[in-house]
Amino acid sequence: MGQTITEKIFSEHVGREVKAGEIIRCDIDMVIGNDITTPISIRAFEESGATKLAKPDNFSIVMDHFIPAKDIASANQAKISREFAYKHDLKLFFDEKDMGIEHALLPEKGLVIPGDVIIGADSHTCTHGALGAFATGMGSTDLAFAMITGGNWFRVPESIKVIFSGKPGEHVYGKDLILEIIRQIGVDGALYQTLEFTGDTIQYLDMDDRFSLCNMAIEAGAKSGIVAVDDITKEFLKDKDLRDEPKYHYSDADAFYVKTIEIDVSKLSPIIAYPHLPSNGKSIEKAVSDNLAIDQVFIGSCTNGRLGDLRIAAKIVKGKRVARKTRMIVTPATQKILKQAEKEGLIDILIDAGAVVSNPTCGACLGGYMGILGDDEVCISTTNRNFVGRMGARSSKIYLANSAVAAASAIAGKIVDPREI
């Protein structure tokens, strides 16, 4: 019996062949903390008596959730990470001077690469699987153990093979593909398993789409999502100052999968996840027929705050105006994305249409700041979760969608089909 790509990555790391279900101790290539979770890890690290990081050049702290600080509590929380970073002279410390949402910033900088084992104290660490790496979220004390030892314990996950076939239609993106998967299997359909995304459709997905796809694997309960390296991946990596030499792994033809899911993408319309679960997916046609008025549009996050998303949104709103009773918030995922969007004139187009453009931050996605919803307000968002109270008041409602649907809906003041704009 052959091996999956996930089994091969772990086998390479432990120096012997491993199979799904085995519990192994494994070195970690990149440990990722942020301004919310890292202070807990730092406390555990210091209470253990540790004085030195096991692998300081493989530990990054990205200040992305509440930075610049939204209040005194978040400022003091950030201070803990800053003082630790300065004390240990961390070279991979990213604050206001080099801002970005962690799961967009680190790939941009070449710090996560194919073949890596990556952990972060953030559930959407699985985003990095788009680069052919094993990446997963863990708890803050798990992060502390990795800071102290350079490794951690894993149960090698079984894999679900997802076969996408066909060319996506107009305004169908990686976000729609993963929302369709979650709609089919539910929020617990892949518990502690890897969603391995394959099929001829992959050739039509750029890296922005692939990051979105893997980002929301956790919303199906998956331990990770992964896409094997191809020419599109290599092109993305080409201009990066990579942290290390990439290692390419590919699943064997006779690898074992616990399940295979096949989806004809050519038949998909944009998918809208209704409140209050990412699995509550409906077609755009259903959403249009429901005549859903919206108060707020949010385009951003580690799911859909990349340059491609800003290009899509700007193309749709160019020469138009955001509806009178609707507000539109756009949050680029990194400073580099923001600068390139400015260079291409995208920011002017968005602002002229009536959008407000913020600094890179997780902000509104988790109900932190820069877009909190009030009582009974309705938002269409390109983020990854629409749980009760996720973006503000518990009575608010969040509809998840791709950037094209969000932008078109901002102009209409209700959820509309971007293919009809």
Nearest to 191 by CA among 220, 164, 161: 220
**What is the H or E stretch that residue 13 is in?**
helix 5-14
Cβ atoms of 158 and 191 within 8 Å: the answer is no
Angle among Cα 293, 297, 302 to the nearest 5 degrees reads 140
Q: Average pLDDT, stretch 240-260?
A: 96
Token pair recorded at residue 368: 């932190």
pLDDT on residue 182: 98
Q: Cα(238)–Cα(142) distance, rounded to whole angstroms?
A: 33
What CA–CA distance (Å, rounded) separates 28 from 170? 40
What residues does each domain of the chain span? 5-263, 272-420
pLDDT at 1 over 90: no
DSSP secondary structure letters along 308-350: HHHHHHHHHHTT----TT-EEEE--SBHHHHHHHHHTTHHHHH
What lies within 8 Å, CB to CB, of 60 at 6+ separation is 30, 31, 32, 33, 90, 92, 93, 94, 102, 106, 111
> Does the pLDDT at position 129 exceed 90?
yes
Q: What is the pLDDT of residue 311?
A: 98
CATH code, 272-420 = 3.30.499.10
- pLDDT grade for 420, boundaries at 50, 70 and 90: confident
Tokens of residue 285, six digits: 């046609």
- The pLDDT value recorded for residue 289 is 96
Mean pLDDT of 350-369: 94
Residue 2 per-residue DSSP state = B
| Structure tokens given for 212 | 């979105």
Mean pLDDT of the chain: 96
Distance CA 345, CA 307 (A): 12
Per-residue pLDDT tens over the stretch 100-124:
999 999 999 999 999 999 999 999 9
Mean pLDDT (whole number) for 56-75? 94
Taking the whole predicted model, whether its pTM rises above 0.85 is answered as yes
Would you place residue 29 in the very low, low, confident or very high pLDDT band (cuts 50, 70, 90)? very high
Are the CB atoms for 216 and 303 separated by under 8 Å? yes
Q: How many angstroms separate the CA atoms of 15 and 24, rounded?
A: 11
Q: 183 pLDDT exceeds 90?
A: yes
Q: How far is CA 136 from CA 62, 105, 271, 373, in A?
A: 16, 16, 25, 29
* Intrachain domains 5-263 and 272-420 with the same fold: yes
Q: Which fold has domain 5-263?
A: Aconitase; domain 3 (3.30.499)
Label residue 74 by pLDDT band (50, 70, 90).
very high
- Residue 66: pLDDT band by 50, 70, 90 thresholds? very high
